Structure 1
């Protein structure tokens, strides 16, 4: 083999080795960076663009795809301590000609976080209405989707701003009286032992993150320690805010917000709930069905507190 050929193989090997070593180093040393890259990649692959909108001195961060058309736009509200990118696993199944908007909820990710802000469910609904007006989403009535805390906000929004909404999807929403779930029982035990600072939905170690994933998901899967560490590293800087927010939304003012407003919801409503939800008990679905006139309930077998598992059922409503 001549020298030129040898040099070519060395250069080619070095070129391949660099990204491989970078990936391995990121996985072992900076797993949180790898998670951010993962979301960035999927946003690009799915055609989701990130933008900002301002209401006075308040900034909203959101991602979108498509433009308003003859079909209703879709606004998606994520749950507690999540962010707009949690919807990507559902977005990939939606028709590309739909106008989709996924917004970071107040205080989350790229949306303004302020100690002076009202993070009650009603306060969050008002903020989302400001966002809707900012981007003129309510020029035509739109379809609103919310999950968990976002479902609570979505239901209150539909009750308070009925002219904005043409239809509504609530996925295992909070804000309802129901049978005690495993999560609620855990909270009671923590309250009794005065260890309320250890909220199961606010992990600060890889072990607590693994426990939270088990609580939220019906499917059991082993997550590598490095990924668990990365998920924790991403969340830890925000945990103080999450604790404040959690105490706000379980306070008397917000605890049953959806229940108090559900009779005002006039839009056709779809309720989706995992039968094995351990965070918010599935009995909440019947509470909504009894109060909303045009309400269709879908209980998913082998499904926990995970909106991505609910995709196959609500696809027919929005497609």
Structure 2
């Protein structure tokens, strides 16, 4: 009789351990159930019988914006929490827990601890998940004008640093035609972009010659859906040497060897000719030599100046660009 009682006691103990009645949750199906740019939600299930459980989280950043791997500090809940059941199917109960105040476009390692409030034993599971992108928090800095051509402008600027990008950063360029106030966003086919040591060089192509433009740049995430603040504007004009005959067209189409033509040169800024003390744009003459061949690049030409303010009636040097495709003056 004593042996039977001992056997029943052992079986009862094993069943109690197996079903964990009123005991600690053995965390099952731990997964990410949702995210925003600043939060992650995890969910998991427990047996309905494991109702005597309380939980604690700890989490740490493992990759900030996928460009900084730390190391970062682990944040741990200072107390255990009894959670409200999110849903139930009879055998299981499902819990949800959201961690707020996270960094956008970043990966976190989250550990969930469960314990029985009566026994104090702890069971843990770990989950890795990433937050969504957000709009960049700052604009690029130090925008500088570099050069102009007949149909392009080149600028440099400092890229948005890691920690403020908030996503897989790209850059959006706004160009305003100052003669018409028409605003456009430069498309990928019209820009040449490179980056060296976090300094971006960009050339905006397909512009109108002899035209003033206003340039601004901002960061963009989520394929241009999340937009950061613009930089301060920089105003510059295309092509600083212009012709009276043909605007910014190929000079060789309009001049013949041995004849004299006028070339009008407007200052690079402001973008339109202005009259100061009765003197307008700078006017020069150019007499192309016979049978001249042109190499691609730039050429300095000595010309007679009609504008006494700039050259005092003598000779001065200007630089005329030669079109890369045709080898002709532009």
Question: Which TM-score applies when normalising by structure 2?
Answer: 0.21
Larger strand proportion of the pair: 2
The answer to which structure, 1 or 2, has the higher relative contact order (CA under 8 A, 6+ apart) is 1
TM-score by length of 1: 0.21
Give the structure with the higher percent helix: 1
